Amino acid sequence: MQLAFRFQSTIPHLQMAKILHIHTALETAIICLSDGEKMLGERTNPSQRDHAAFLHVGIRELLRDAGMNMTDLEAVQVVDGPGSYTGLRVGMAAAKGLCYALSIPLITCNTLVWMASGTLDQPPEMLRCPMIDARRMEVFAAIFDADGQTIMPSSPIILTADSFNGWLRERHILFFGNGSGKFREICTDPNARFGDPIAGSQELIRHGIGSYEQRNFNNVAYAEPFYGKAFHSTMTPR
């Protein structure tokens, strides 16, 4: 899966659109409403097991507090994975149901792209590697440069001390996300950096309105979560 997203803080010549954003892929669920770059409201839920119960109630509350009806929505964006299987199914089902009922576009956002878009304040020469925990020594990971261009596409990896050596020989890499702690325990490369940059609703909104501007929509009938695939023991460039 090829990923690319400009980690820009603003979208020039933005067309205003009312978009519902749904993110239930990880531990904390996020739903928010936006009109252009303006966030109209936000709800979060820190308990992964409660995402299904939280989602539709939260959407109803967001619309009520913003003084909007469901029919005012012009698109729905959903984070489509990788992440929790149950969370991904819950979010995708809700997004597709709304888009189908309202005849509005569906936008999807890769979880790792969203995570990396929270690294705007990191040094531009440093690569970014978001990691999602996938049990044992397994993670989902990708590598991006400071402009959001994909250096390594989203991949399932079984971590070893030598993982990412090919890239680390040439560049500093910032590893972060809920899977990065496992790599920190075994990685001794001096070019490896570890941190905790935070992506949130504003990053969802930037991605959503950028995709809306570019008419980068998904087929509502055939869109499905990105669960990942068989795990690889090592990752080397090219």
Walk along the chain (238 residues) and give the pLDDT tens digit of each residue. 344 455 554 444 455 799 999 999 999 999 999 999 999 999 999 988 888 899 999 999 999 999 999 999 999 999 999 999 999 999 999 999 999 999 999 999 999 999 999 998 899 999 999 999 998 899 999 999 999 899 999 989 999 999 999 999 999 999 999 999 999 999 999 999 999 988 999 999 999 999 999 999 999 999 999 987 655 555 555 4
- Angle between helix 51-65 and 85-102 (nearest 10): 40
- Report how far apart, in Å, the C-alpha atoms of 77 and of each of 99, 155, 167 are: 10, 23, 32
175 close to 184: Cβ distance less than 8 angstroms: yes
Residue 234 has a pLDDT of 55
Q: Taking the domain 18-112+198-213, which CATH number applies?
A: 3.30.420.40
Beta strands per DSSP E along 111-235: 127-133, 138-144, 150-158, 173-176, 192-194
The CATH number of domain 120-194 is 3.30.420? yes
* Residue 139 DSSP symbol: E
> Strand locations in 36-134, DSSP E?
38-45, 75-81, 106-110, 127-133
Q: Do domains 18-112+198-213 and 120-194 have the same CATH topology?
A: yes
Look at residue 232 in the predicted model and tell me its pLDDT: 56
Element (H, E) at 57: helix 51-65
| CB proximity list for 178: less than 8 A, separation 6 or greater | 26, 27, 131, 132, 133
pLDDT at position 11, please?
46
Q: Where are the domains of the chain?
A: 18-112+198-213, 120-194
